Structures are given as C-alpha cells and as structure tokens.
Amino acid sequence: MKDHIDYTPFIGTDVGIAAKLLIRGEAVAIPTETVYGLAANALDVKAVTKIFTIKQRPTFDPLIIHFSDLSRADDYVLEVPKIFKKLAEKFTPGPLTFLLRKKQNIPDLVTSGSPFVAVRIPSHPVTRHLLNLIDFPLAAPSANPFGYISPTTAQHVADQLGDKIYYILDGGASEVGVESTIVGLNAEGQVEVLRKGGLSVERIEEEIGPVIVKETSTSNPTAPGMLSSHYAPRVPMILGDIDALSATGDPARTGIISFNRFLPNIPTKHQIVLSGTSSFGEAAFNLFAGMRYLDNCDIDVIYAELIPERDLGIAINDRLRRAAFKDEI
C-alpha cells in the first residue's frame, strides 16, 4: 500500500501463491465471472482495512464475502432463508449475492456496521480452487479505485492498482462483465433486488415469482454497490440520443457507446458497439472494457445510449446511469 511500500505489479496464474499471500494477511486481485475482485481475509480486520485503503473506498460502503459453497456460510450467518436456498440451488455458483443476517465473527468493518452481510458463491474455476485452499471467506469488492470502471481483465487491475498489491491472479477475461445481482428480504419477507447485476430479474422471477426491484440511489448503502454515483470514466459521459448529441461539437473529439450500431459521423476508433447482434450478454461482457477504452482515447466527451430495459439490459443501464456525468457534487 502507498503508506508503506510500492509494489511491482505481478500478474500470474499460481493459485498457491495467492493463497499464501491471503493467509499472510495481504490483499490479492482475483478473477471472478463478473469482474475482478480485490480480495482479503474477511475475518482479519487489518487485511480488510487494506482493501479500503488500496481502493480509497469509503468505509460506509460494505463488502461482499465469497465462499466456495453456500453451506460454508453457515458458520458466519444466522440462517439462510428457504427461498434463498431455492435460488442458490438454481443459480449458484454464479452472479448472485444474498444479503443475510451475520454472526458476530464477521467484523463490522466488512458490513459497515450493518447486521447483514452480503454472501456470494463465485463460479470462476480459478477462484473456486483458491477458496478451497483457505479456511476463511474472502471479502472482495471490484479491484479498481473507488468510483472508477470495474476491471474485467488482469491487465485492467495492473493498470489501476498494480503498484499497490503484491499479486494479480490471472483467470482470463471475466465472462459476465458486470457485478452480481444482490437480493435481500424486506420486513414482510418479500425478496428484494437491491442491486441489478449479472443475473436478470426475469430469471429470478421465473424461479420464485414476482420480486421487488429497488433503486440504488443512496449515500448510505445497506448492501454493496448501492451508491448512486459509481463506475465513472474520467472523460465526461452523457446519456441520451446519441444521434442528436453526436451532431454537436467536434466529431474527432467525441466518443460513442451504442447498443448495436456505428454512427457515420464519428471516427470508428472512437466508437464502442456493445453488441452488433443486440445480445444483452455480449453487451454486458463489453461494457466496462469499452468504457475503459474510450476513457483512454484522446477525446473530450463520451455520448452513450441506454439499451432496452429488460434482461441484462436493466443492469447495463444501471451502470450507465451511475457512470454518467453529473454537474452537481
């Protein structure tokens, strides 16, 4: 970390090295099917503090903890409701996170003082292997500076945090490309989607019936990923009608994020088409990498369009709205 040493970024595929570093109390970047995470021993307050320090993440924004199997969470949560077990049987391992009432052995720093902890079972084989080599859960938010675009490759992590961490465990490009969906139960026992993510609301409802979908604009989140401003590139990004917006200003200094088409008046090298076949899955996979690419181009503004508000389009639009330029602080 910057307060004691700069590390030379090292990307590798040795799961054993990652496990040894985590056991030693270090923070390690790990691959998941959603995005790359910055992991540390969730039971070690000093190790968890390194996550917040490295990311410059506010401590009021709680973390997700990761297990290789939901049954391993029994030692750390009071109970797993039957309806969550049903969802787990269908969708885990995978991009689904459960907000559960925690036991006292989960540090308050992990949950930002909340009595609930977010629990996930990742499906990436490298991280599942890692989780089976250690005897503690991993706290692991996305491996990026707080508020910036989430990383979907090991190189993205190295570009952003490489001088602050010992080791980046390379597992290839993240398959899903957006963070997990988070579900909780409200006071009436109804399932609520607290964060839209890599598992669509439609698929959840196919399994358990209607759910409540909460908006995520809050400065005091009850679950990870609920802050209203997040995932932002340095170049201002404006949402709207990309045809009308691109007709203003200098085309050579303009970037475009579209769902499925190129615009004729903007240089192709400054355009990201999320999916030429209008595939929601492909669009999710390309979203963060595309934002990162345009953020490194020599342009003044990025114009982006929302995509159809269904399936993974709900999660993609959520990320676009939170990354969009806001002129208020």
At residue 329, the pLDDT reads 28
By residue range, what is the domain housing residue 30?
Answer: 11-178
Residues in the chain: 329
Are residue 172 and residue 265 in the same domain, yes or no? no
pLDDT higher for 148 or 125?
125
Domain boundary (178, 197, 214) is at 178
Q: Give the pLDDT of residue 15.
A: 97
- Asked if the model's pLDDT at residue 223 lies above 90, the reply is no
Q: Write the DSSP assignment of 116-170 as a string of letters.
A: EEEEE----HHHHHHHHH-SS-EE--BSSSTTSPPP-SHHHHHHHHTTT-S-EE-
Looking at 151-160, 184-193, 197-206, 220-229, which range is the least confident one? Answer: 220-229
CB atoms within 10 A of CB 202: 11
pTM for the whole structure: 0.85
The helix (run of H) or strand (run of E) holding residue 11 is strand 11-12
Sign of the alpha-carbon torsion through 137, 143, 149, 154: negative
Query: Distance between alpha carbon 77 and the CA centroid of its chain, in Å?
Result: 23
Q: What percent of the chain has pLDDT over 70?
A: 91
**Where residue 248 sits, what CATH number does that domain have?**
3.40.50.11030
- Given 158, 178, 198, the domain boundary residue is 178
Interval 66-96: pLDDT, tens: 999 999 999 999 999 999 999 999 999 999 9
| CA pair distance 222, 14, nearest whole angstrom | 35
Indicate if 262 and 117 belong to the same structural domain: no
Q: Which one, of 274, 271, 260, 270, lies nearest residue 315 by Cα?
A: 274
Q: Using 50, 70 and 90 to split pLDDT, how confident is the model at 232? A: confident
Mean pLDDT of 200-212: 97
**Res. 9 pLDDT band, cuts 50 70 90:** low
- 62, 147: one domain: yes
Asked if 254 and 300 count as a contact pair (C-beta separation under 8 A), the reply is yes
Secondary structure element (H or E) that encloses residue 225, with its range: none
Number of structural domains, the chain?
A: 2
Q: What is the pLDDT of residue 224?
A: 73
